[in-house]
Structure 1
């Protein structure tokens, strides 16, 4: 295409190797572009249509859900079902990142239902045709073990297939006979009602009404108020109900814009959320959710915690009326009916009515006995402080400090059921403990391919995956207990010394440094700023906006994580500092990711805060008995992680607090340190 004069039209020219140009075609007043030479050829064979005109469904065949990196490391048998959901995308002029909820999704999510996964990981099921569908693999409790942030579509009568979970498009289907091959396609099972858009008032508020509002009704200052569903109408938080705003700080989700790379399995599993950790085993004043209520909460979290269910609800909340949405929805329905054989009103689930159940008082709360046994006391034999340096490579070495023997009462007098039946524990042999947590640099000597990745920013306009946690000087995270054990074996072979994880008792003994308070520096209300990286005012820096995201001034509900606002410990996540990042969030300080706070009296840094740390021990009830098998290193049992992290309030970072995770799970804020036996 060319034009030879400014006033001539764009025409088609034939150009030879000598730049001679011959006009082929020119049309006055028109431009001719992108010519393509054609030649006659035989008609190619026509592939027969795979579609069945008029059919309203398709089928999906999954060879093996465990095939591919999406569920790498998960034991077979974890996935019991697949959850299917669809999307209703925003209409013109109404969509935005904060419309559906606080750090929720861009679009309305519509629950379709669930289908079974067979013992070998295969599945064969029906799906509605001409519908964008995402799939979530569920564990036995109905929690997603991986999140799918793309979608697939089946045409009418089409057979859609996939090899596994997030497998490469170039992967070859596993050559095996599966159970699903021998079955008819599974019908979609409803979950707690018919297919519907996901919203807080329909899915979650009834659970709060049934189990929570008896104590959390706004009558006591400092407690969340789950009884008040009104919208405050102050700032932007007026678009969401008060009970929703008060629940949001207790649940983790990736938000509207998170790291676009595939997550590690269980990155946002419900067991990483404070709400579910609190409710475990009736630990929260004997509140025990029934199965449906638990699954309803898990569903809501896995859907990214929406408040509004539909765009009609959004428009009513943000604009005071929904006439324009209804008009566009009507036209959308006409087009869908005409071309996709879909006749459902996309706004059908707006303001769905649901009965609010009465509060169900839990079984009587019997305060657990967490007092120290009568006459028990802390005794330290000898002194700590002797140091040992072990070279791991020419440039990397680790420093350890000798921990003396003694005895103490494990746990805290905090009335937490997981610390009931405290007993006196003797540390009979001295050991050396690493003064800091294992760093990315050290761990990458063992596994060069491990990536601790990023910690998610909040809100929108993200141009990078989050706050980096993979610099060499930062503590390693997203390491499973199994991987930490293998690291210890490698380190032992590398150095000729015997390294392992500390037992739960050894860890707590070393963290307390002979003190009998929740922290070596004092109680829960003590200023932790000089001593630990915990949830403080720097959590506000997660709120970012702008094309080059920067921390910004924000409404209170936007910085929703629980934190001690009166304390400034100088860090957000390890290595990220308040002064450094106020105007330059892409800068980190390599000197302040580990060992930048005061060490405890025995020379150990960051035992509380920074990152949680794996222990050798199984999560078993007290009294603690080192000889009852809890330290036998059986990967079938959940393992204890201790110490809290940058994400934790003091209450969940104290020496005695215990978290439990499967041995194979990589957790966003769990790392480890090692001990060396004499």
Structure 2
């Protein structure tokens, strides 16, 4: 089983922001990956142009050209407020799930399921010669915008060596770093003209709970979990196709179990304690590469780790079998339990804000000494 990795580094800097607020760091105020800002600005221009006719807040289907016109279903989530975290008396609760705080979030769309290999394979198997940071080795003016975006380099370790895992189009993509998931969002945005990113912890839990305050979105009865989630008791020690279990009240599948899902936040057991009731769109912006946050539990999780409030921090041993020095910024060789889903905020942020969301890895010499 994957054990909880929740140590909190002493250098954490808490950053809480709304979508309209630039996320300045007290110790590091320059824009991350500044050399790539021009690419982000081009994507931003495309998104603003596409938004000339506002989209109504209703479900829609997105078509992804680079994925053979495969589609992605997006469901609406209205603005609202909820109690972030779990009550002290909830069975299976961990201390990092509190104290509970009343949080407000703006409206957004979220993918109905976890991102599948059908969408992710064309991104990570992009077929272009690339530098280790994912930039094109020989860029030209003829390159499509989506190709110019940094994308994964080939793997040195086959994530499917274990035969219990299959690269099936309808299974959730897994094994990627938070950085790779964020750059997928930029790649997708460049093709569609819609701004996509990872959800924040607050957005994720708001959508997972779907108006409920119970341990799971279906209630407190653990015996019903098998109807809603793939977890240690029923997964046969591997992940499963998306959408086979019952959805939550807002129509989202696999929020509990299957693969744990990346969110944008740094993991900190002190984060909730720093929040105020009524906080709007909180985000604990990353300042270190470990630990980052995944939510929802996985096929490898015991039931309590799949609860709506359950949290897990990433750890260096998720790259234990990576033979590279330094280790890959794209893959967690031992992260077959980790995937992601995406959101599209109704409010379009500035180009600089988009750039921060898509580049939470700073690419500084200091941070390159660590693993992503």
**TM-score calculated relative to the size of structure 1:** 0.34
Aligned with residue 98 of structure 2, among 415, 420, 423: 420
- Report 1:539-550 matches (<5 A): 539=236
CA shift digits 1:36-73 (9 cap, x unpaired): xxxxxxxxxxxxxxxxxxxxxxxxxxxxxxxxxxxxxx
Which of the pair is proportionally richer in helix?
2
Q: Please give the secondary structure, in 2, of the residue aligned with 1:446.
A: helix
Are 1:616 and 2:264 an aligned pair?
yes
CA shift digits 1:296-329 (9 cap, x unpaired): xxxxxxxxxxxxxxxxxxxxxxxxxxxxxxxxxx
Aligned with residue 482 of structure 1, among 166, 179, 193: 179
What is the deviation of 1:538?
A: 5.2
- Report 1:213-612 matches (<5 A): 273-274=2-3, 277=4, 280=7, 386-393=58-65, 394-413=68-87, 414=90, 415-427=93-105, 429-448=106-125, 449=154, 453-454=159-160, 465-523=162-220, 525-537=222-234, 539=236, 572-575=237-240, 593-612=241-260
| Corresponding residue of 2:343 | 675
What is the deviation of 1:389?
A: 1.0
Q: Please give the secondary structure, in 2, of the residue aligned with 1:499.
A: coil
Aligned with residue 652 of structure 1, among 295, 302, 305: 305
What is the deviation of 1:504?
A: 0.1
What is the deviation of 1:638?
A: 2.3
Q: CA RMSD in A?
A: 2.7
What is the deviation of 1:487?
A: 0.7
CA shift digits 1:609-657 (9 cap, x unpaired): 1100000111122136478984435454521100011111111111101
Q: Whole-Å Cα distance in 1 between the matches of residues 7 and 219 of structure 2?
A: 28
Check whether the contact 1:485–1:501 (CA below 8 A) recurs between aligned residues: yes
Taking a change above 3 Å as real, the CA distance of residues 649 and 465 of structure 1, as seen in their structure-2 partners, is closer
Q: Which runs of 5+ in 2 are unaligned?
A: 9-55, 126-153, 317-328, 347-372
Q: Whole-Å Cα distance in 2 between the matches of residues 425 and 670 of structure 1?
A: 26
Q: Whole-Å Cα distance in 1 between the matches of residues 254 and 295 of structure 2?
A: 12
Aligned with residue 294 of structure 2, among 632, 641, 648: 641
Check whether the contact 1:532–1:606 (CA below 8 A) recurs between aligned residues: yes
Q: Please give the secondary structure, in 2, of the residue aligned with 1:443.
A: helix
Q: Whole-Å Cα distance in 2 between the matches of residues 397 and 607 of structure 1?
A: 20
What is the deviation of 1:574?
A: 3.0
What is the deviation of 1:386?
A: 2.7
Check whether the contact 1:643–1:653 (CA below 8 A) recurs between aligned residues: yes
| Corresponding residue of 2:20 | none
Q: Please give the secondary structure, in 1, of the residue aligned with 2:119.
A: helix
| Corresponding residue of 2:23 | none
What is the deviation of 1:465?
A: 3.7
Check whether the contact 1:385–1:603 (CA below 8 A) recurs between aligned residues: no
**Post-superposition, which runs of at least 4 consecutive aligned residues in structure 1 deviate over 6 A?**
626-629
Taking a change above 3 Å as real, the CA distance of residues 537 and 438 of structure 1, as seen in their structure-2 partners, is closer
Q: Please give the secondary structure, in 1, of the residue aligned with 2:194.
A: coil
Check whether the contact 1:531–1:597 (CA below 8 A) recurs between aligned residues: yes
Check whether the contact 2:267–2:292 (CA below 8 A) recurs between aligned residues: yes
Q: Which runs of 5+ in 1 are unaligned?
A: 1-249, 251-272, 282-383, 455-463, 540-571, 576-592
Check whether the contact 2:286–2:292 (CA below 8 A) recurs between aligned residues: no
Taking a change above 3 Å as real, the CA distance of residues 486 and 528 of structure 1, as seen in their structure-2 partners, is same
Check whether the contact 1:532–1:610 (CA below 8 A) recurs between aligned residues: yes
What is the deviation of 1:387?
A: 0.7
Q: Please give the secondary structure, in 2, of the residue aligned with 1:616.
A: strand
Taking a change above 3 Å as real, the CA distance of residues 521 and 623 of structure 1, as seen in their structure-2 partners, is same
Query: Which structure would you say has the larger Rg?
Result: 1
Taking a change above 3 Å as real, the CA distance of residues 668 and 609 of structure 1, as seen in their structure-2 partners, is same
Q: Please give the secondary structure, in 2, of the residue aligned with 1:445.
A: helix
The number of aligned residues is 244
Taking a change above 3 Å as real, the CA distance of residues 465 and 505 of structure 1, as seen in their structure-2 partners, is closer
What is the deviation of 1:500?
A: 0.3
Q: Please give the secondary structure, in 2, of the residue aligned with 1:482.
A: helix
What is the deviation of 1:472?
A: 2.0
**TM-score calculated relative to the size of structure 2:** 0.60
Taking a change above 3 Å as real, the CA distance of residues 624 and 654 of structure 1, as seen in their structure-2 partners, is farther
What is the deviation of 1:528?
A: 1.4
Check whether the contact 2:296–2:307 (CA below 8 A) recurs between aligned residues: yes
What is the deviation of 1:385?
A: 8.9
